[in-house]
Amino acid sequence: MELKKNKSTTLFWLFLKQLLWLSACILIEIFAFILLLNLAINSGFILPANYSEHYLGMNKDVISKSEPFDKGLIPFTCKYGLFDLDENYLTGNFSEDIIDDAKEFIKDGKKNNNLFILLERANEYCVVQYDISAHFSSPMLHKLFPKFEMMYLILFFIIFILIVINSALHFGRKLKKELKPVLEEIGQIQNRELNMERKTSKINEFNKILLSLYDMEAALSQSLKMEWETEQKRKSNISALAHDIKTPLTVIKGNSELILEEDNITEIYELAHIINGNSDKIERYIKLLIDETKDNLTKGNEEKTTLTALLNDIIKESEAMCSLKDIELITQNETLEAEIALNKDLLERAILNLIKNAIEYTASRKIIKLYCEYQNNKLVISIEDYGKGFTDESLKYAKDQFYTDKTERNEEHYGLGLYFASNVAEEYNGSVTYYNKPNKTGAVVVFKAVLPESNERV
């Protein structure tokens, strides 16, 4: 099975495109942050990192000579401290730690790692501490965000994380969209909602999965169809068996009634023998019915028998059924001593179904003819009755399961006779055909079966 060809890609290219898109977004972010920083510095909104050092260098003399000392000359980004000539701290905004470092710087500036500038005044020293980092030019913003560079980096990483999360969500949504047909197909298979609609994905790997799922769906559909057909056949066989049990029951009932009316002991024994034979038949049918519930009723339940024995049993049973309606059974068959492995009960039931149909079609005190021919492993049995024949509708649908034309029947009928006989014939590569005789003086039903190779008796 092939899927409809659409423009598709592979997971590798899809992932690569997403990675390139993420990289491009990150590069744009970096470029935007650098550009914004330059614009802020150029506009004076942000003071450059060397602003304090440059300012102190430019105004060193002014600060040294100012009298009295003007702390407003010290940039707000710096801290300062005034010391006397004996290095005693006078005033400023240094902390205790910075005061000690400042004293060390006054003694020897090379030994201190802090960024200090020493400004010598007339009677004192002014030590200014500065840093090399960018700051807001607004004192208020500087007070709120003294570590501008740290804040800028945190903002950069927050946006970076948002870009990564957005990229992952976008990639996930795209994968979910392309995976949706696969998940839907799996759900349909789980629920056995099998249909012929074929969906596709834009990803080659997902299309391969879909193709495998569609093959699985087709196999499952075929399996379910076979399972349904097997179940229907099993139900049909059970219905046919239940239907066929009526035949020996009818014979038993009829002969029981005759026994009650019969005074001749010989006739009573003969009728009792018929009852006993049909009781055995009911027992076999019930066993077959039980076997069918276990799915054991098949063509393979075979036993070796002769066609003569099969036909004698059929004729004997048919005569018993015909006698109940005062119908004469005329037979024409030869002695067939070929021993064949076949399902005797199955074939006997099929042919007796056809004979029973003929009896139901034939009015009382009429005749039914039974002909048998066997040649080249082909068994042909013809049953001719003298009833009203098939209606036009019956000629079309008589072999359909449960089809019945009650206006043509003298008793309740279940529409299983021809259907069952036809199925048995097909099991043996044969068929059941039927037609009306001229002027609707009756009907002929022909049962054909191809039997296994026979072993002639010596």
Query: What is the pLDDT at residue 243?
Result: 65
Query: What is the pLDDT at residue 22?
Result: 92
Q: Which of 132, 160, 192 is the last residue of a domain?
A: 132
* Alpha carbon 283 to chain centroid, angstroms: 45
Q: Domain for residue 315, yes or no? A: yes
The reply to whether the predicted model has a pTM over 0.95 is no
Q: Which of 79, 74, 77, 50 is nearest to 60 (CA)?
A: 74
CATH of the domain at 362: 3.30.565.10
Q: Domain for residue 262, yes or no? A: no
Q: Domain for residue 66, yes or no? A: yes
Q: Which of 71, 89, 76 is nearest to 131 (CA)?
A: 76
Q: Domain for residue 147, yes or no? A: no
Return the structure tokens found at 353: 């179904």
Sheet holding 124-129, edge to edge: 89-92, 79-84, 124-129, 116-120
Q: Which of 98, 132, 166 is the last residue of a domain?
A: 132
Q: Domain for residue 280, yes or no? A: no
Q: Domain for residue 408, yes or no? A: yes
d(CA 222, CA 231): 14
Query: What is the pLDDT at residue 197?
Result: 65
Query: What is the pLDDT at residue 92?
Result: 92
pLDDT tens string 186-217: 777 777 666 656 777 677 777 787 777 777 77
Query: What separation in angstroms does the CA of 426 have from each of 182, 310, 406, 421, 430?
Result: 43, 19, 27, 9, 5
pLDDT tens string 383-393: 998 888 888 88
pLDDT tens string 128-143: 999 888 999 998 998 8
Query: What is the pLDDT at residue 364?
Result: 64
Question: Which residue stretches of the chain have pLDDT < 50?
Answer: 1-3, 295-298, 407-414, 457-458
Q: Which of 379, 303, 299, 404 is nearest to 346 (CA)?
A: 299
Q: Which of 132, 151, 182 is the last residue of a domain?
A: 132
Q: Domain for residue 148, yes or no? A: no
Q: Domain for residue 193, yes or no? A: no
Query: What is the pLDDT at residue 35?
Result: 94
Total domains in the chain come to 2
Q: Which domain holds residue 428?
A: 304-458
